[in-house]
Amino acid sequence: MTEKSYPEEYSEQVFKGKIALDVRDSVPDWEPYSPPKAPEDAPNVLFILYDDTGLAAWSPYGGAINMPAAQRLAD
């Protein structure tokens, strides 16, 4: 059995910015983040993810956890 060494993949990346003692004198090596835009005709999709709750506990399903926004979606 051979022992793996990590990381398995490595790429040599050169930092092209400048790190100074004062952050105001530093220069980043990346552009500001701008989220991607959806196409004009893209459908509206909503994903709702809750952890450690059962569907029966939500108010839209008759449960005790009050979820007014989810109730409005269900109505």
Which residue in the block uniquely carries the two structure tokens 């990590």?
Answer: 6
Look at residue 55 in the predicted model and tell me its pLDDT. Answer: 67
Closest by CA to 30, choosing from 42, 22, 18, is: 18
Per-residue pLDDT tens over the stretch 16-75 = 999 999 999 999 998 888 999 989 999 988 887 777 777 678 787 788 888 888 788 888
Look at residue 62 in the predicted model and tell me its pLDDT. Answer: 81
**How do the domains of the chain map onto residue ranges?**
40-75
Query: pTM above the 0.75 mark?
Result: no
